[in-house]
Amino acid sequence: MDKKDILLPQHVAIIMDGNGRWAKQRGLKRTEGHKVGAEVFRTISKYCADIGIKYVTFYAFSTENWKRSKAEVTAIMNLLRRYLDEMKERVLENEEAGIHISFIGSREGMPKDIVKLMDEVECRSSDKTKTYVNLAVNYGGRAEIVKSVKEIAERVKKGEINPEDIDEDMISDGIYTANQPDPDLIIRPSGEYRLSNFLLWQSAYAELYIDDVLWPDYTPEDLDRAIEEYSKRNRRFGGV
């Protein structure tokens, strides 16, 4: 993509959807779709860094996904373990890419060994500043807002602030992506027209782009098309 005439979004968020349908279309187990989807995540993360996108957030596993079959949840957790182990082994590659990895979402209920690996990966990439990659795991947008509101309520209870002091900035300070810009562009592959509880607070003025491509088939060229469409839109933020 020629970036000269393209307005790059500062923050892109992607709902990685369609893994199960991709596998079903090929007569494979749903877990095979998740395996391929994990490789696509790696490819798109690196591509975002290569073209100069500063922040990118991927929706990997929602709080609602625990309702899926035990076999599928176990397979997803095993894929996450493998990815985290590989991240530890690819220290030089990650340093060259300049990617800062963060995991957003609740760590309660997550396997303890995975939480430990998350902490290690975040620590190893903490000084990287080229591209910030957020991976939403055990994440729910409503739960994120509740978390922030509860923290504010505790401050009110302790007498640190008054109710009339509460504003949007205070809530923003308590969400997982605090200190990062809200997403400019939210992409949903697979043709579904919904946010599915993803970045509800942050998406107030995000541009939405729906793509029929299933996530395991997603390519850098598909991302280019979304960015080109985004660059043509007139973002007024409620103004004229």
Catalytic residue ranges? 17, 65
Distance CA(59)–CA(32), nearest Å, equals 18
Distance CA(162)–CA(175), nearest Å, equals 20
Chain centroid to CA 213: how far? Answer: 18
Strand partners, 59: 15, 136
- With contact defined as beta carbons under 8 Å apart, do 215 and 190 qualify? yes
Strands 55-62, 11-15: pairing is: parallel
Question: Quick one: tokens of 217?
Answer: 């088939």
